[in-house]
Amino acid sequence: MDKNSFFARTMHTPDSPERAELRDALRELSRTLIPVHRRLIESAKSDYAFAYGANARPSELVELLQNDPFFAWLKPLTAVIVDIDEMARTDFEVADVAAIVDRIEKLLGETKYIEMLQRDIDVATGHAALRRVMQRLKR
């Protein structure tokens, strides 16, 4: 990777006030989404233990999250968090922000997410905070 490519991926040009607001909202979105993601993993881990009678150690949990079909529904959420963090560090287009919001909207409508939302107060609380932040990004 040459120097220009590296800096293009890791730095951004000075922001206009509008873009600075969007960048701030992206960072807040990530900070809000990570605890929801963590709680979803914990809930899914409990469901897995109930279904299969085994509590996974942390190293096993990482393996399960990456490879077990039981946890596959969490992968798109993990990917969107990574994409948000990448976008917040670099130059981005407003259309890219809208695409991230659309991806999250789709994920929030998934059956497994709705089930967790309805039964876990921490997920519900995080969901409400997530919706507030997403409103900042919908312009």
pLDDT confidence bin for 79, thresholds 50/70/90: very high
Residue 96 lies in a domain: yes
Residue 9 lies in a domain: no
Instruction: Let me know how long the chain is.
Output: 139
The count of structural domains within the chain is 1
Q: Is residue 56 within 8 Å of 47, Cβ to Cβ?
A: no
Using CA atoms, how far apart are residues 118 and 127, in angstroms rounded to an integer?
Answer: 11
38 or 58, higher pLDDT: 38
Structural domain span for residue 29: 17-137
Residue 1 lies in a domain: no
Residue 11 lies in a domain: no
The closest alpha carbon to 103, from 120, 78, 86, belongs to 78
pTM for the full predicted model: 0.85
What residues contact 45, with CB distance under 8 A and at least 6 apart? 55, 56, 61
pLDDT confidence bin for 138, thresholds 50/70/90: confident
Predicted confidence at residue 111, as pLDDT, reads 96
